[in-house]
């Protein structure tokens, strides 16, 4: 008998269910022995407190197109992993105990950077763990793609598309906040796909003089409107020069809901152009996965199942240079994949006339 556990950790995304379906179907179809499935509720919290349910393949049927996660999810910060909770529970020993009490042969963890760090810690403690790269931000190290990313880009792009018509009708500047606290993959891809005029991402600090100049160039050419896509973690050059502590202090002192309001206010004040803000927010995490996500999530699930059957634990399933790979967890844990300011897509976006506010 093969006993496996599944959990989804961190922020939700559209293709978590599709990935779990891939794991379960591949194990059922390829395992030489019967398989028992245990689903842990609300991420690592379920593993810590023994909140799980015995599941059958039927529980994973019909969920390929369903967004979110049927197991529920939560955030368990890695930096607090060795700090007992308010209830006094030691998290790591509790997770190990639950794993061993169930007699699991493998734990499949679907999560992003922080969750992968915890998965690596559990692997170092002797548990058989396989991680799968979940995040809409596409910022997991060691893989060219994460599931959730293309669906989020699709939603962000739809927002930009829709804003074009109202911006054009009224001759306004719109600042659209796209998810990306530390990295700018979604803003970058959606800005190109949606035909934005300015794209502000954390990896390329902007100067407001350059943003205003880009707006004026458009207006001088006869354009009625300007679309600015800004990552929620967009940084000015001044902010980028601050220490981490100083930057956090500045963010804490901010009186506006987010940086896009500050950008919009400054644009309107300096350019004299009527300026509005649009925030698609958590819709970028919601809804059904797009076709690309369904395919990639299924691939990840199948490859994770095959790795389990091969006894290849302590790895993350990734996509590298056009092929599915098993990457050691220790190589990816704690690392962030940022946008390279010199990458092809940035270079191509500049050639299209998209300003990043740095020149």
Q: pLDDT value at position 83?
A: 93
Give the Cα separation of 4 and 263 in Å (integer). Answer: 49
Asked if 5 contacts 58 with a C-beta cutoff of 8 angstroms, the reply is no
Q: What is the pLDDT of residues 185-207, one digit of tens each?
A: 999 999 999 999 999 999 999 99
Asked if 317 contacts 325 with a C-beta cutoff of 8 angstroms, the reply is yes
Q: pLDDT value at position 85?
A: 84
Tokens of 315: 């790895």
pLDDT band at 334 (very low <50, low <70, confident <90, very high): confident
Q: What percent of the chain has pLDDT over 70?
A: 100
Catalytic residue among 82, 90, 105, 137: 137
Q: pLDDT value at position 92?
A: 97
Q: At which residue do the structure tokens 């991680």 appear?
A: 131
pLDDT band at 339 (very low <50, low <70, confident <90, very high): very high
pTM above 0.85, yes or no: yes
Give the Cα separation of 290 and 297 in Å (integer). Answer: 11
Q: What is the pLDDT of residues 306-317, one digit of tens each?
A: 999 999 999 999
Q: How far is CA 166 from CA 220, 245, 266, 308, in A?
A: 20, 40, 21, 51
Long-range contacts of 216-223 (CB under 8 A, 24+ apart): 216/271, 219/273
Q: Average per-residue pLDDT in the chain?
A: 97
For this structure, is 137 an active site residue? yes
Q: pLDDT value at position 3?
A: 98
Q: pLDDT value at position 115?
A: 96
Give the Cα separation of 214 and 259 in Å (integer). Answer: 19
Nearest CA among 111, 136, 359 for reference residue 231 = 136
Q: Give the mean model confidence (pLDDT) for residues 223-238.
A: 97
Sign, Cα dihedral of 179, 323, 335, 126: positive
């Amino acid at each position: 008998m093969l006993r496996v556990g599944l959990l989804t950790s961190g922020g939700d995304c559209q293709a978590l269910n599709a990935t779990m379906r891939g794991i379960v179907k591949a194990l059922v179809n390829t395992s030489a022995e019967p398989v028992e499935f245990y689903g842990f509720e609300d991420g690592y919290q379920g593993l810590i407190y023994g909140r799980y349910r015995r599941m059958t393949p039927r529980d994973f049927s019909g969920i390929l197109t369903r967004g979110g996660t049927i197991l529920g999810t939560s955030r368990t910060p890695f930096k607090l992993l060795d700090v007992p909770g308010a209830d006094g529970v030691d998290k790591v020993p509790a997770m190990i105990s639950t794993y061993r009490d169930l007699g699991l042969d493998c734990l499949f963890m679907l999560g992003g950077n922080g969750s992968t760090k915890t998965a690596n810690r559990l692997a170092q403690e002797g548990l058989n763990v396989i991680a799968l790269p979940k995040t809409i931000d596409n910022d997991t190290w060691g893989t060219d793609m994460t599931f959730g990313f293309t669906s989020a880009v699709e939603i962000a792009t739809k927002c930009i598309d829709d804003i074009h018509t109202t911006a054009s009708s009224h001759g306004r500047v719109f600042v659209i906040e796209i998810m990306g606290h530390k990295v700018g993959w979604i803003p970058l891809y959606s800005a190109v796909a949606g035909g934005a005029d300015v794209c502000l991402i954390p990896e390329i600090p902007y100067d407001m003089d350059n943003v205003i100049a880009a707006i004026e160039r458009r207006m001088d050419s006869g354009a009625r409107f300007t679309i600015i896509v800004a990552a929620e973690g967009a940084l000015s050059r001044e902010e980028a020069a601050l220490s981490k502590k100083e930057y956090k202090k500045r963010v804490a002192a901010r009186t506006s809901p987010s940086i896009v309001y500050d950008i919009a206010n400054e644009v309107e004040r300096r350019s004299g152009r009527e300026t509005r803000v649009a925030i698609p927010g958590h819709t970028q995490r919601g809804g059904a996965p797009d076709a690309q996500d369904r395919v990639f999530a299924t691939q990840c699930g199948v490859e994770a199942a095959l790795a389990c059957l091969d006894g290849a634990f302590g790895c993350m399933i990734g996509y590298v240079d056009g092929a599915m790979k098993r990457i050691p967890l220790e190589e990816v844990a704690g690392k962030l994949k940022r946008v390279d300011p010199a990458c092809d897509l940035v270079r191509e976006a500049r050639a299209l006339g998209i300003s990043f506010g740095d020149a």
